[in-house]
Amino acid sequence: MAFRAMISSHATQQSKWVPSAGVARQMSSWFGHVEPAAKDPILGVTEAFLADPSPDKVNVGVGAYRDDNGKPVVLECVREAERRIAGNLNMEYLPMGGSSHMIEESLKLAYGEDSDFIKDKRIAAVQALSGTGACRLFADFQKRFLPDSQIYIPVPTWANHHNIWRDARVPQNTFHYYHAETKGLDFSSLMEDIKNAPNGSFFLLHACAHNPTGVDPSEEQWREISHLFKSKNHFPFFDMAYQGFASGDPERDAKAIRIFLDDGHLIGCAQSFAKNMGLYGQRAGCLSILCDNEMEAVAVKSQLQQLGRPMYSNPPVHGALIVSTILGDPELKKLWLQEVKGMADRIIGMRTTLRENLEKLGSPLSWEHITNQIGMFCYSGMSPEQVDRLTNEYHIYMTRNGRISMAGVTTGNVGYLANAIHEVTK
Amino acid sequence: MASLAFSSTSASPVALRGRPNKLAIGVAQSGACHVSARGSDRKARLFITRAVAVEKKVSRFEDVAMAPPDPILGVSEAFRACTNESKLNLGVGAYRTEDLQPYVLNVVKKAEKLMLEKGENKEYLPIEGLAAFNKATAELLLGADNHSIQSQRVATVQGLSGTGSLRLAAAFINRYCPNSKVLISSPTWGNHKNIFNDAGVPWSEYRYYDPKTVGLDFEGMIADIKAAPSGSFILLHGCAHNPTGIDPTPEQWTKIADVLEEKGHTPFFDVAYQGFASGSLDEDAFSVRLFVERGFEVFVAQSYSKNLGLYSERIGAINVICSSSDVANRVKSQLKRLARPMYSNPPVHGARIVANVVGDPNLFSEWKAEMEEMAGRIKNVRKRLYDNLSQKDKSGKDWSFILRQIGMFSYTGLNTSQSENMTNKWHVYMTKDGRISLAGLSLAKCDYLADAIIDSYHNVN
């Protein structure tokens, strides 16, 4: 009874907050020294876009796919999967490593349906919080088990890669990647850097559809990279966020990984289903590390789980269920493959149209890199100042490194976009 | 080609001794056997691939040791493997019905149906999570008319259930209060230590459980909190302490607040059972609201795993109640900066469920009723167990602590050997610290459990 009385008297006092006498010391915060964080360069663009009242505004900032009407898309195969899993029996915790069904299907996608590595159980794999979570788990694992190692990161790369390895306290180096003059790959410098890195270095490679440049090595170039990696005994860590999304064919997009596997490398791989299945907000992904043998894979997996436990205990189920439902059902998988090809084709089509428009406008510059590059992004080559003009004068939103998310380009806005780009670059 | 592969390995002097990995190095260093992997037929290629694999470098992770099984989640695994008919799983804290089945709340089913019909998109949430969820969760915790909310002094960021929210807070403490340590209760949820360890935050323990009374060691708790360096973070369980089920009384909470104030400590609440302990959301928030009322800056991690049964959706939040809205804004921005390199943005599904349930008056009422039912079932089970123990145990031992404890768990007072006896002889699966999850107990099984406890307590040392 006394307890209830205490609560009700407490409740009536709530609306009037008067600090008790001894609390005067508390008035100044313990956290007064906390500076405001800078806006995330990528996600901050969307915030700014949303705040803009202009009817002409165009968002080619964040890499989320849009249909030709500029609308977010939920794939039909995803909707169907959700209908099937609705009324799911229970929401019990997944095991620490996540959904084994989802992991199995993810590995088949990355390593090949008939991969011996899967059959031989040599892959340590856990469900992860999309690509970010997979990279972070790997970085933490690297820190814990190879504390003297560093990571080589391409220039440029997705900005969050730097944050991830920094917060995992793994020292970073960079290697040449993008060639500003050609707006293509700086292959010779890349190979130099690989050669000059100390033997046994860790390298972060984008498996396909490099973010932000859209510039990928050719198959032949991948073979040479793999060969050089072998003689240097480097560790290849692949971030594969766009499998299926680059060429429209997941098998083709996994080519780089398969080349490395054939050459006998023991790789690490972060997979994301954010883009290729449109599961962005569900945070569905997978981290895998190819080991020497099954016993080692079991040990490594147990340690990955150990790292995940104090971060989130076990991963979220919903996205995983969608992935495994789709990939585990031949009909749904077929539908997915069609839909993913559809998305890739639309982007490829927009690349062609954007380039044609710019050429028709009589731009003195070369725009062939728009169609040479692949995947969601185009590295336009524009300067930050030119990007600022696009935003301020034309209400076109993109990141200041000149990266255009082609997924945000539509038949409705491509003309406007081409014109604006022409105006600020002529 | 196949024979070449064979001969190169068998020819090597290393082949007859040493571990396979050493062999691999030996062959690689000798530079022998550059076998092309691009054989014409698949079988030959496979064979050659294996030969090339022998040549490959040793894995960097060869020395990685097997991690120990998780003490809590490992119990369920052992239970599943047991074939005895009488087996009982009192390990992990997941709610079960009287039929010992998992329970998806009706309001959750309704909310999911609504969501399916709405067909919303699956775009990325902002780093801080779903706005509707963040608003709902802070209001649920503090009360919508709470001054701290009205004056925008609460920084709320959606987190990956309780664990993820605790981890964000721990990472923040590591970065912005690097000279501070956290005090955690002895005992506490096993994962607390892992979280602070991995976040690089030093911790020590304050006395909490008194085995002699199977109750709270209040004197010890106060003394240890007083002895901690000023400006420490004190991790407190908002209600339904895990693993003991022992909560301070309101009077004790007031005294705890006094000591924190005296020493300039910051309260850090883990609220994993709001609504689940007493059956009332407001009642269970008493301790948190007391501290906020007293003018403290407070960290609060929330989870909807138990009270909404959303375990696997990983939905929770970290709230930091600050002394001003300006500080709250800055703190929130830095929490986001910590989350971005961990998972970029949180999963949407669970957040939408919560927002839908809390946002709809009918669903909200229904939820409160379901929560009362769950808490009620546990209270009934406690009563039945107590009755059975009192009747059966002729020693006169006082088992009433079971009635005084609250929430999903009960610290039985059994030691490690006695707990092991529970499992080995009676097939009752529980953690070795003597903790049983009453959520996994049915009225029908109380009789059996009482026998097991009495036997273990009296006949095993």
- Which amino acid is residue B156, in one-letter code? T
Contacting residues of B for A291, CB less than 8 Å apart: 59, 61
Position A264 scores a pLDDT of: 95
DSSP H or E run through B184: strand B182-186
Nearest residue to A225 via CA among A207, A210, A213: A207
Q: In this structure, are residues B35 and B51 in contact, taking their beta carbons and an 8 Å threshold?
A: yes
For B242, phi then psi, to 5°, come to -110, 120
| Nearest CB to B66 within list A266, A298, A310 | A298
**Interface list for A 171-190 with B (CB within 8 A):** none
Does any CB of chain B come closer than 8 Å to the CB of residue A119? no
As a whole-number percent, the residues of chain B with pLDDT over 70 amount to: 87
Q: In this structure, are residues B431 and B72 in contact, taking their beta carbons and an 8 Å threshold?
A: yes
Contacting residues of B for A32, CB less than 8 Å apart: 327
- To the nearest whole Å, the CA of A266 is away from the closest chain B CA by 7
| Nearest CB to B123 within list A13, A280, A315 | A280
Query: Is pLDDT above 50 for A147?
Result: yes
Taking an 8 Å cut-off on Cβ atoms, the answer to whether B342 and A266 are in contact is no
CA distances (Å), origin B136, targets B105, B123, B156, B317, B442:
19, 21, 10, 11, 33
Position A93 scores a pLDDT of: 82
Position A44 scores a pLDDT of: 80
pLDDT in tens, B396-410: 999 999 999 999 999
Which of A33, A34, A117 to substitute to test the interface with B, most B CBs within 10 Å? A34
Taking an 8 Å cut-off on Cβ atoms, the answer to whether A62 and B312 are in contact is no
Alpha helices in B145-275 (DSSP H): 147-150, 161-176, 190-199, 218-227, 250-263
| Nearest CB to A299 within list B66, B199, B342 | B66
- To the nearest whole Å, the CA of A105 is away from the closest chain B CA by 20
For A124, phi then psi, to 5°, come to -85, 120
Span B264-286, average pLDDT = 96
Q: In this structure, are residues B386 and B399 in contact, taking their beta carbons and an 8 Å threshold?
A: yes
Which of A45, A76, A91 to substitute to test the interface with B, most B CBs within 10 Å? A91
Identify the residue with better confidence: B19 or A134.
A134
pLDDT in tens, B230-243: 999 999 999 999 99
The residue assigned the tokens 């600090």 is A19
Using CB atoms within 10 Å of the CB of residue B422, give its burial: 0 to 12 exposed, 13 to 18 middle, 19+ buried. Answer: buried
Span A294-306, average pLDDT = 94
Position A76 scores a pLDDT of: 97
Position A287 scores a pLDDT of: 98
| Nearest CB to A316 within list B112, B151, B313 | B313
For A61, phi then psi, to 5°, come to -90, -85
Nearest residue to A352 via CA among A333, A372, A322: A372
- To the nearest whole Å, the CA of A232 is away from the closest chain B CA by 10
Span A54-70, average pLDDT = 91
CA distances (Å), origin A420, targets A61, A69, A413, B63:
16, 20, 11, 57
Span A231-254, average pLDDT = 96
The residue assigned the tokens 């007493």 is B278
Position B352 scores a pLDDT of: 97
| Nearest CB to A14 within list B108, B146, B177 | B146
Contacting residues of B for A319, CB less than 8 Å apart: 347, 349
3-state secondary structure of B34: coil
pLDDT in tens, A24-48: 334 567 777 778 888 777 778 888 9
Taking an 8 Å cut-off on Cβ atoms, the answer to whether B121 and A90 are in contact is no
Nearest C-alpha in A relative to B28? A231
Query: Is pLDDT above 50 for B381?
Result: yes
Position A95 scores a pLDDT of: 83
Q: Of A158, A165, A222, A367, which residue is the catalytic one?
A: A158
Does any CB of chain B come closer than 8 Å to the CB of residue A166? yes
R_g of chain A, CA atoms, integer Å: 24
Q: In this structure, are residues A241 and A205 in contact, taking their beta carbons and an 8 Å threshold?
A: no
3-state secondary structure of B236: strand
Position B51 scores a pLDDT of: 40
Contacting residues of B for A26, CB less than 8 Å apart: 261, 295-297, 323
Position A28 scores a pLDDT of: 62
For every residue of chain A, which 3-state class applies, written as one string? CHHHHHHHHHHHHCCCCCCCHHHHHHHCCCCCCCCCCCCCCCHHHHHHHHHCCCCCCEECCCCCCECCCCCECCCHHHHHHHHHHCCCCCCCCCCCCCCHHHHHHHHHHHHCCCCHHHHCCCEEEEEEEHHHHHHHHHHHHHHHHCCCCCEEEEECCCHHHHHHHHHCCCCEEEEECEECCCCEECHHHHHHHHHHCCCCCEEEEECCCCCCCCCCCCHHHHHHHHHHHHHHCCEEEEEECCCCCCCCCHHHHCHHHHHHHHCCCCCEEEEECCCCCCCHHHCEEEEEEECCCHHHHHHHHHHHHHHHHHHHCCCCHHHHHHHHHHHHCHHHHHHHHHHHHHHHHHHHHHHHHHHHHHHHCCCCCCCCHHHHCCCCEEECCCCHHHHHHHHHHHCEECCCCCEEEHHHCCCCCHHHHHHHHHHHHC
Position B72 scores a pLDDT of: 78
Least-confidence region, from A245-249, B69-73, B222-226, B456-460: B69-73
- Collect all residues with Cβ–Cβ distance below 8 Å to B360 and sequence separation of at least 6: none
For A155, phi then psi, to 5°, come to -115, 115
Query: Is pLDDT above 60 for B54?
Result: no
Query: Is pLDDT above 70 for B279?
Result: yes
> Can B99 be counted among the known catalytic residues?
no
pLDDT band at B58 (very low <50, low <70, confident <90, very high): low
pLDDT band at A121 (very low <50, low <70, confident <90, very high): very high
B/e letters for B333-370, b = 16+ CB within 10 Å, e = fewer, are bbbbbbbbbbbbbbbbbbbbbbbbbbebeebbebbeeb
Query: Is pLDDT above 70 for A4?
Result: no
Cis peptide, bond prior to residue A156, ω within 30 of zero: yes
pLDDT in tens, A309-322: 999 999 999 999 99
Q: Of B217, B224, B270, B284, which residue is the catalytic one?
A: B270
Least-confidence region, from A182-186, A231-235, B40-44: B40-44
Span A124-142, average pLDDT = 97
Q: In this structure, are residues B160 and A94 in contact, taking their beta carbons and an 8 Å threshold?
A: no
pLDDT band at B67 (very low <50, low <70, confident <90, very high): confident
Position B57 scores a pLDDT of: 54
Position A209 scores a pLDDT of: 96
For A174, phi then psi, to 5°, come to -120, 160
Strand order in the sheet with B203-207: B154-160, B315-321, B298-303, B266-271, B233-237, B182-186, B203-207
pLDDT band at B63 (very low <50, low <70, confident <90, very high): confident
> Can A67 be counted among the known catalytic residues?
no
Taking an 8 Å cut-off on Cβ atoms, the answer to whether A79 and B119 are in contact is yes
pLDDT band at A233 (very low <50, low <70, confident <90, very high): very high
Taking an 8 Å cut-off on Cβ atoms, the answer to whether A136 and B121 are in contact is no
Query: Is pLDDT above 60 for A15?
Result: no
Cis peptide, bond prior to residue B187, ω within 30 of zero: yes
How many other CB atoms are found less than 10 A from the CB of residue A92?
16
Average pLDDT, chain B: 87
B/e letters for A291-309, b = 16+ CB within 10 Å, e = fewer, are bbeeebbebbbbbbbbbbb
| Nearest CB to A302 within list B67, B94, B262 | B67
Please give the angle made by the CA atoms of B46, B48 and B50, to the nearest 5 degrees.
Answer: 70
Which of A20, A283, A326 to substitute to test the interface with B, most B CBs within 10 Å? A283
Query: Is pLDDT above 60 for B19?
Result: no
> Can B110 be counted among the known catalytic residues?
no
Taking an 8 Å cut-off on Cβ atoms, the answer to whether A282 and B116 are in contact is no
Nearest residue to B293 via CA among A2, A9, A1: A9
Q: Rounded distance, CA A84 to CA A318, Å? A: 12
ipTM: 0.83
CA B89 to chain centre: 18
Least-confidence region, from B67-81, B154-168, B182-196: B67-81
Q: Rounded distance, CA B286 to CA A10, Å? A: 9
Q: In this structure, are residues B198 and A307 in contact, taking their beta carbons and an 8 Å threshold?
A: yes
Strand pairing class (A396-397; A178-179): unpaired
Q: Rounded distance, CA B6 to CA B33, Å? A: 10
pLDDT in tens, A337-390: 999 999 999 999 999 999 999 999 999 999 999 999 999 999 999 999 999 999
Q: Of B110, B217, B306, B445, which residue is the catalytic one?
A: B306
Please give the angle made by the CA atoms of B299, B302 and B304, to the nearest 5 degrees.
Answer: 175
- To the nearest whole Å, the CA of A358 is away from the closest chain B CA by 31
Taking an 8 Å cut-off on Cβ atoms, the answer to whether B342 and A311 are in contact is yes
